[in-house]
């Protein structure tokens, strides 16, 4: 046990006056809960006195000192103030495993804060905590907190921090740590403490700080929120030192929480925007490639408006356009004379063909003389070590701006340039694109008939049956599954793409997204990969425990199938071991029983389904369970892809 500090007020050296000491010896009274919402707390003992004691009196009377004069209780713990700070920012949830380095803060959240706004979500892996926060942001449009324990917790969390970073999604990561070596418990606490906590993830977070006082904490927490939410967004880290949490706040009344004002996103330079409009309006075959452009429902409307103004096709899927819009899809990079890349993470990849053979080769697929324009906030913020910035793309114009925020001025600039004659030509072009899209939908339907009755079940059939099970309802996808065969009309109906293709992120992102949809009563469904689920299946328990309704349908191909294919490539190139690709990649012998796995954690589970005829009835039952508020999982044994 550490000895008392000489200076300052801390949990180990808060010596009290003799009177308090005497009272402390008398009775171990329980301090009343500070917030009424802490319903689970016991009522304080009844006091016979007619005049209730003042808070200060009560504090003094209930203060305990050890025989050797060390404080054993504390009033106004620093972590209570931290909770006030987070409440002031409207944080709704904290996703976390428990961890001793933030025991003070956890206790403040659940008791002082009443476990409401934010509410504690019990997680089974820090990797899940982070991705639950990521998934929540994708739907709620605001960050939540994910907590991790000093060293080991953050090490677990790091993969999905990277995934959120690549997706440019803000997560406020709060880390517990014991900085003061003099006060650390021997043994484990040393192993779990670190000099510079955020160092191990600093390459893929936007900002971090280790506040050493409560005013510093308040300022940095507000700054963390603001930086995380400033385009390009990203995860941020705030270290909550153990002493700062557990020691008393010196004078709560003097502690201020700075005002939070979010930074508006950067809009494209008007001169450049006018030139982009000129190129687009004059183009014969413009193509809009859209990546992570749309962040809001309004953004989707703007994207439709730009497409309709230009009568240009928009490729990129996801949440950019209603997918049955006549201009959603169509066009091609090879035939385009002007390509507008909006928030495209890999514009090089979109404009080149890369051949993964023994000798890797590539070529551009754009037409000679085609103009390439990029509007992206990615140019505003780039780091060196991790290569998620992708290959350097030669473009003709680059606007360092947020694409969604630039859409209104771009639309206006285009409209100003379109004459009646041009309008007629554009409308003709639009009709052709629309007709091609009608044909593409018909082709997709025909394509779905192949292997319709196959077992293992075709992934297209699984997707179509899932759509049919929810299509009349207010549904939202929380994972994979959407295709041309789904009618996706609203922004919130897909969770948005982006990320580092990190296996193990899918399940918790779905849980987080479903959590954000919960208050709207939407039926959340998603297709879940088996390999991804096996990384940290405990997120299923979190969904059950917190009554997060959602339906996951397993795309169970019983393998890390992408890797099976990679091994086959190696075997083919080396001309040996043709039948060995499955070794180390398949998840068979034994097969995992996902329905049982789900049931064991309190979800409704069904399957494994191998006969496609059983799929629709099983989905119907599962959707009914979800409508009652339960999470459910159906295991479907599928074709590989």
Partner 1 sequence: MRFVILMILTMMASAVTAQQNPQAPPSGNAENGKKIFTAYGCYQCHNYAANGGGAGPRLAPRPIAFPAFTRAIRTPRDEMPPYSLKMVTDQELADIYAYLLTFPAPPAVDSIPALRQ
- Which residues lie near partner 1 (CB under 8 A)? 353, 355-357, 445-454, 456, 458-459, 461, 464-465, 468, 471, 485, 487, 561, 564-565, 568-569, 571-573, 575-576, 578-579, 581, 616, 639-641
Q: Give, as ranges, the residues between 49 and 78 that touch ligand HEC (CB under 6 A).
A: none
**Closer residue to ligand HEC, CB minimum distance, 343 or 460:** 460
| Distance in angstroms (rounded) separating the CA atoms of residues 243 and 249 | 11
Residue 362 interacting entry, from partner 1, ligand HEC, none, C-beta within 5 to 8 Å by type: none
**Closer residue to ligand HEC, CB minimum distance, 444 or 565:** 565
Q: How far is the CB of 584 from ligand HEC (least distance, A)?
A: 16
How many Cβ atoms from other residues are within 10 Å of residue 43's Cβ? 8
The CA–CA distances, whole Å, from 224 to 137, 198, 227, 237, 562 equal 15, 13, 5, 7, 37
Q: How far is the CB of 354 from ligand HEC (least distance, A)?
A: 12
Q: How far is the CB of 574 from ligand HEC (least distance, A)?
A: 14
| Distance in angstroms (rounded) separating the CA atoms of residues 564 and 69 | 65
Residue 609: strand, helix, or coil:
strand
The CA–CA distances, whole Å, from 308 to 25, 70, 286, 446 equal 78, 73, 12, 28
**Residues 156-175: x where in contact with ligand HEC by CB under 6 A, - otherwise, as a string:** --------------------
**Closer residue to partner 1, CB minimum distance, 434 or 485:** 485
**Closer residue to partner 1, CB minimum distance, 356 or 421:** 356
**Closer residue to partner 1, CB minimum distance, 356 or 589:** 356
Going by C-alpha positions, the residue among 442, 495, 486 that lies closest to residue 464 is 486
| Distance in angstroms (rounded) separating the CA atoms of residues 336 and 333 | 5
Q: How far is the CB of 454 from partner 1 (least distance, A)?
A: 4
Residue 360 interacting entry, from ligand HEC, partner 1, none, C-beta within 5 to 8 Å by type: none
Place of tokens 């987080």: 512
Residue 208 interacting entry, from ligand HEC, partner 1, none, C-beta within 5 to 8 Å by type: none
Residue 393 interacting entry, from partner 1, ligand HEC, none, C-beta within 5 to 8 Å by type: none
**Closer residue to ligand HEC, CB minimum distance, 390 or 568:** 568
With beta carbons less than 8 A apart as the criterion, state whether 446 and 496 touch.
no
Residue 459 interacting entry, from ligand HEC, partner 1, none, C-beta within 5 to 8 Å by type: partner 1
Per DSSP, the residues of 199-268 read: GGGGGGSSEEE--SSHHHHHHHHHHHHHHHHSSSP--EEEEEEHHHHHSBPS-GGG---PPP-PPPPP--
CA 272 to chain centre: 33
Relative orientation angle of helices 615-627 and 459-470, to the nearest 10 degrees: 40
Q: How far is the CB of 460 from ligand HEC (least distance, A)?
A: 17
Q: How far is the CB of 339 from partner 1 (least distance, A)?
A: 22
Q: How far is the CB of 568 from ligand HEC (least distance, A)?
A: 4
**Closer residue to ligand HEC, CB minimum distance, 569 or 573:** 569
Q: How far is the CB of 620 from partner 1 (least distance, A)?
A: 13
**Closer residue to ligand HEC, CB minimum distance, 568 or 591:** 568
Q: How far is the CB of 448 from partner 1 (least distance, A)?
A: 6
Residue 586 interacting entry, from ligand HEC, partner 1, none, C-beta within 5 to 8 Å by type: none
| Distance in angstroms (rounded) separating the CA atoms of residues 558 and 582 | 11
Q: How far is the CB of 633 from partner 1 (least distance, A)?
A: 21
> Residue 493 has what DSSP assignment?
G
The CA–CA distances, whole Å, from 65 to 12, 13, 19, 27, 423 equal 10, 10, 11, 12, 83
With beta carbons less than 8 A apart as the criterion, state whether 90 and 117 touch.
yes
**Closer residue to ligand HEC, CB minimum distance, 29 or 565:** 565
Site size toward ligand HEC (CB under 6 A) is 3
Per residue, what are the HEC states of 92-127? CEEEECCCHHHHHHHHHHHHHCCCCCCEEEECCCHH
**Closer residue to ligand HEC, CB minimum distance, 629 or 640:** 640
Tokens representing 430 are: 């639009």
Residue 573 interacting entry, from partner 1, ligand HEC, none, C-beta within 5 to 8 Å by type: partner 1
Under the phi-then-psi rule, with left for phi > 0, alpha for psi from -120 to 50, and beta for the rest, what region is 34?
Answer: alpha
Residue 500 interacting entry, from partner 1, ligand HEC, none, C-beta within 5 to 8 Å by type: none
Peptide bond into 241 cis (omega under 30): no
Q: Give, as ranges, the residues between 519 and 578 that touch ligand HEC (CB under 6 A).
A: 565, 568-569
**Residues 471-510: x where in contact with ligand HEC by CB under 6 A, - otherwise, as a string:** ----------------------------------------
**Closer residue to partner 1, CB minimum distance, 103 or 352:** 352
| Distance in angstroms (rounded) separating the CA atoms of residues 146 and 135 | 12
Q: How far is the CB of 446 from partner 1 (least distance, A)?
A: 6
Residue 117 interacting entry, from ligand HEC, partner 1, none, C-beta within 5 to 8 Å by type: none
Sheet holding 172-177, edge to edge: 119-122, 93-96, 145-149, 172-177, 236-241, 207-209
**Closer residue to partner 1, CB minimum distance, 456 or 631:** 456
With beta carbons less than 8 A apart as the criterion, state whether 531 and 559 touch.
yes
Q: How far is the CB of 639 from partner 1 (least distance, A)?
A: 4
Residues contributing to the site for ligand HEC (CB under 6 A): 565, 568-569
């Amino acid at each position: 046990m550490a000895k008392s500090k000489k200076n300052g007020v801390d949990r180990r050296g808060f010596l009290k006056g003799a009177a308090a000491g005497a009272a402390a010896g008398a009775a171990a009274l329980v301090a009343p809960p500070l917030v009424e919402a802490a319903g689970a707390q016991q009522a304080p003992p009844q006091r016979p006195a007619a005049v209730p004691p003042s808070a200060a009196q009560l504090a003094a009377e209930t203060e305990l000192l050890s025989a050797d004069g060390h404080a054993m209780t504390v009033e106004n713990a620093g972590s209570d103030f931290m909770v006030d700070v987070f409440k002031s920012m409207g944080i709704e949830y904290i996703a976390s495993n428990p961890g001793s380095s933030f025991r003070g803060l956890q206790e403040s959240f659940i008791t002082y804060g009443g476990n409401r706004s934010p509410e504690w979500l019990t997680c089974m892996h820090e990797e899940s905590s982070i991705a639950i926060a990521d998934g929540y942001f994708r739907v709620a449009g605001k960050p939540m907190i994910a907590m991790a324990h000093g060293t080991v917790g953050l090490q677990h969390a790091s993969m999905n921090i990277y995934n959120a970073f690549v997706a440019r999604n803000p997560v406020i990561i709060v880390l517990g740590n014991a900085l003061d070596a003099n006060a650390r418990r021997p043994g484990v606490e040393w192993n779990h403490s670190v000099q510079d906590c955020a160092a191990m993830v600093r390459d893929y977070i936007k900002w971090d700080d280790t506040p050493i006082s409560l005013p510093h904490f308040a300022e940095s927490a507000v700054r963390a929120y603001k930086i995380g939410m400033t385009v390009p967004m990203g995860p941020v880290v705030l270290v909550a030192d153990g002493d700062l949490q557990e020691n008393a706040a010196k004078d709560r009344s003097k502690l201020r929480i700075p005002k939070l004002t979010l930074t508006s996103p950067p809009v494209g330079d008007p001169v450049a925007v006018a030139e982009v409009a000129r190129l687009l309006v004059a183009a014969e075959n413009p193509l809009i490639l859209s990546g992570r452009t749309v962040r809001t429902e309004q953004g989707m409307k703007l994207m439709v408006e730009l497409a309709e103004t230009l009568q240009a096709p928009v490729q990129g899927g996801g949440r950019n356009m209603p997918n049955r819009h006549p201009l959603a899809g169509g066009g091609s990079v090879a035939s385009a004379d002007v390509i507008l890349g909006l928030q495209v993470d890999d514009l090089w990849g979109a404009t080149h063909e890369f051949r993964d053979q023994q000798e890797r080769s590539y070529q551009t697929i754009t037409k000679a003389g085609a103009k390439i324009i990029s509007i992206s906030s990615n140019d505003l913020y780039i780091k060196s070590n991790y290569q998620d910035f992708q290959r350097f793309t030669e473009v003709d114009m680059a606007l360092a701006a947020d694409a969604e925020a630039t859409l209104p001025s771009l639309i206006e600039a285009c409209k100003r340039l379109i004459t009646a004659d041009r309008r007629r030509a554009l409308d003709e072009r639009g009709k052709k694109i629309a007709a091609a899209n009608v044909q593409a939908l018909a082709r997709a339907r025909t394509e779905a008939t192949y292997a319709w009755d196959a077992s293992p079940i075709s992934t297209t059939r699984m997707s179509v049956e899932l759509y049919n099970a929810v299509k009349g309802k207010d549904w939202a996808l929380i994972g994979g599954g959407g295709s041309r065969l789904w009618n996706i009309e609203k922004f919130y109906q897909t969770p948005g793409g982006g990320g580092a293709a990190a296996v193990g992120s899918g399940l918790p992102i779905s849980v987080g997204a479903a959590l954000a949809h919960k208050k709207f009563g939407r039926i959340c469904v998603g297709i879940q990969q088996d390999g991804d689920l096996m990384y940290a299946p405990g997120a299923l328990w979190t969904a059950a425990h917190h009554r997060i309704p959602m339906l996951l349908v397993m795309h169970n191909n019983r393998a890390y199938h992408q890797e099976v294919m990679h091994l086959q490539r190696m075997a083919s190139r080396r001309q040996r071991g043709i039948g060995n690709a499955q070794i180390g990649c398949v998840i068979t012998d034994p097969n995992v029983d996902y329905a049982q796995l789900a049931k064991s954690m309190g979800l409704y589970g069904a399957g494994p389904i191998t006969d496609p005829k059983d799929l629709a009835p099983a989905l119907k039952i599962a959707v009914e369970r979800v409508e009652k508020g339960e999470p459910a999982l159906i295991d479907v044994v599928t074709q590989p892809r």
